[in-house]
Amino acid sequence: MHRIFRLAHTILSVYYAYMLEYRAELLFWVLSGSLPIILMGIWTQAAQSGQFGLGAIDFARYFIAVFMVRQFTVVWVIWEFEREIVEGKLSFRLLQPLNPFWHHFASHFAERFARLPFAFGLLALFFWLYPNAFWIPSFGNLSRFAIAIILAFTLRFLMQYTLAMFAFWIERASALEQFSFLFYLFLSGMIAPLEQFPPFMREIVLWTPFPYLIYFPASLLVGLPVDFGRGLLVILGWSTGFFLICRWLWQKGLRQYSGMGA
């Protein structure tokens, strides 16, 4: 246990230092996630007509929550893993008695701490510009959000890491991620809250992993009604599924690995 704690502490502190090397880049990375703010403008305008069930303020809160959820859950592991395979850098990781998964997970986790101060800064700026949209979530909602956001990040990471395993066979596995991003974009609630979907479609979508990556935690934060228990079960179910597939692909992939360029 002591070993795991020391390992986690060391890796997180070094990767945090690594991320802080990119001071200017961090701000741009945060800004690059501002699609929800643009969509917010569109939806709040549309809500003036009054035919969407949610008011302009609700939309503003929802999309600012989406922006924050994206900041907590952004994942790029597939590009890093692909590069490690193509350039043979995975070799160094394989020589060490620690699954490379943990290096990637830790670097993403540490990056959150480097990124969030910028994100909170933008949040403060937003509420200063639109004080009407300001709200304070209840303690209960905030607690449920905290659990949901950790699980959402884990699920998103596992999903992308599983796709990354295909780099053992096809080298440009990021193409798979770009394809799946289409589903992520439309089904996760990033473009529109799930309330805007037709009911039968919404019911189907709620069994896929996508809404739990954005819609679920964002709704908890703004107080939209969601089934928390069912949400947790679906997330855990998908996470377990992806974890098992990922492990299987890892074992198969290692036999395929040729340590290119190294």
Partner 1 sequence: MSAIVVENLSKVYPVAVKEPGLKGTVQHFFHRTYREVKAVQAISFEIEPGEVVGFLGANGAGKTTTLKMLTGLIHPSSGRVNVAGYTPFQRKTGFLQKITLVMGQKQQLIWDLPALDSLRINAAVYNIPDRQFQQQVDELTEMLALAGKLTQPVRKLSLGERMKAELLAALVHRPQVLFLDEPTLGLDVNAQVSVREFLREYNQRYGATVLLTSHYMADITALCQRVLVIHEGQLIYDGSLEGLVDRFAPCREVKVELAQPYPPEKLALYAELEAIEGQIVRFLVPQEILTRTVAKILTDLDVIDLAVTEPPIEEVIGRVLKAGLVV
Which chain residues interact with partner 1 by CB under 8 A?
A: 3, 6-7, 9-11, 14, 17-18, 21, 88-89, 91-92, 94-98, 254-255, 257-259, 262
Residues in the chain: 262
**Contact predicate 144/226, CB 8 Å:** no
Least distance in angstroms from the C-beta of 14 to partner 1: 5
For partner 1, which is the closer residue by CB, 94 or 201?
94
For partner 1, which is the closer residue by CB, 23 or 230?
23
Distance of CA 245 to the CA centre of its chain: 19
Least distance in angstroms from the C-beta of 73 to partner 1: 25
CA-based torsion, 124, 129, 131, 137: positive or negative: negative
For partner 1, which is the closer residue by CB, 31 or 262?
262
Query: Considering only CA atoms, which of 185, 227, 224, 226 is closest in space to residue 57?
Result: 224
Least distance in angstroms from the C-beta of 247 to partner 1: 15
For partner 1, which is the closer residue by CB, 100 or 189?
100
Least distance in angstroms from the C-beta of 121 to partner 1: 24
Distance of CA 2 to the CA centre of its chain: 29
**Contact predicate 75/108, CB 8 Å:** yes
Distance of CA 66 to the CA centre of its chain: 11
Least distance in angstroms from the C-beta of 31 to partner 1: 22
For partner 1, which is the closer residue by CB, 230 or 252?
252
